[in-house]
Structure 1
Amino acid sequence: MSDLRGSDVKDCPQCGRTLPVTEFHSNVRRPDGLAFYCKRCAASRSEASRRKRGVKEQRKSSEPVPPGSKWCPDCGLIKPLTEFARTTSKASGYHSYCLPCHTARGVESKNRLYGGTREYHLRHRYGIGQAEFDELLAEQGGVCAICGAPDPQHVDHDHRTGWVRGILCFNCNGGLGQFRDNPVFLAEAITYLKGTTWQWTLIHPGVYQRSSKTRGRRPSRSS
């Protein structure tokens, strides 16, 4: 038997067969550069280990999957690849589950781990939970920290440090974003409004005159 052996064959201690080296996975940590068990036995041992650890058996489609398509283990349907989200973490380049099933799994996970998508969103993006949100809103008197509108729902945070600054209404939160959180721009906007907006000026006790301090045009009759 030894004269038949060489660098092209190897024994598998699991099944006792003498097989070509192509039937063994590579393993650079072993002297011969090959895995201890043949591919079939290695797969069997790996599957047994997964069952022992409580990992469910991998499901496969009972029908052939045509090129350009993929089988979803959750809904059991074969769908075009366009129905699966792309990912670089999978060899196929696509997630295991189709878009609707992938979304449903995400919602279930957020409900199970965080009690809901709202709690997940707050903690994932701002580092606070609903309890901290409610506490901060109560400190503001239940209104927007800028305009005083009731029941604001938007968390305002410093984009440089990540620190939460307050709870704002949709308009005020969007306004700060449009001005890029820049105090200079906001101050210039205030100066601009004061200088161009028509205002009521007290000229005698109880008598007011509408005027604009600087430039500006009255709207045309056709506008």
Structure 2
Amino acid sequence: MHPCQAGIEVVTSYALRRCARCGDMKKLTDFPVKIGGKRGLRSWCSACDAPIGTEYCYPCRSYKPAEEFAKRYLGQHPKCLACRAKIQRDWKLRKKYGMTLEGYEDFVATQGGVCAICQKDEDLVVDHDHHCCPTSESCGECIRGVLCRQCNSAIGLFGESVGRIAKAVSYLKARSVKR
């Protein structure tokens, strides 16, 4: 039985929703359609919607060109590629070494922003003592420094043995061609 036939007063009104950006209560018709969304609508109103060809990055709190977002996430992902990379880097550092991205950046800055061995300033990675933590994850206490990927790999290939590295140095000194 329909509510009107049962004597129940039905108040017809527009469904309202609060815009996530401006905070105003607006009619549902004021919200753009979002395919695949929970309610089928964006969480912000048309007035707050991004200009054509741009997307809103929540961590940056700004509109950026759509090219700066992963194509598969356009219209549904709130982070630009730069912010996503930074957030993923922070997560990996926390999981693997127990340090934040800010802690890593401070560590690099105290080391002069370069590899502790070759002084290159590119592709820097965290070096930790594998004798303390033999798995790929570190306890955070055995971090030795920041090295470029090549120097870190070289130390790993020598099994982190000071004796083997010293023998390699003496080998190179004895057999190198004078230039």
Q: TM-score, normalised by structure 2?
A: 0.46
Q: TM-score, normalised by structure 1?
A: 0.38
Higher CA-based Rg: 1
**Looking at both structures, which has the greater relative contact order when contacts are Cα pairs under 8 Å and sequence separation is at least 6?**
2
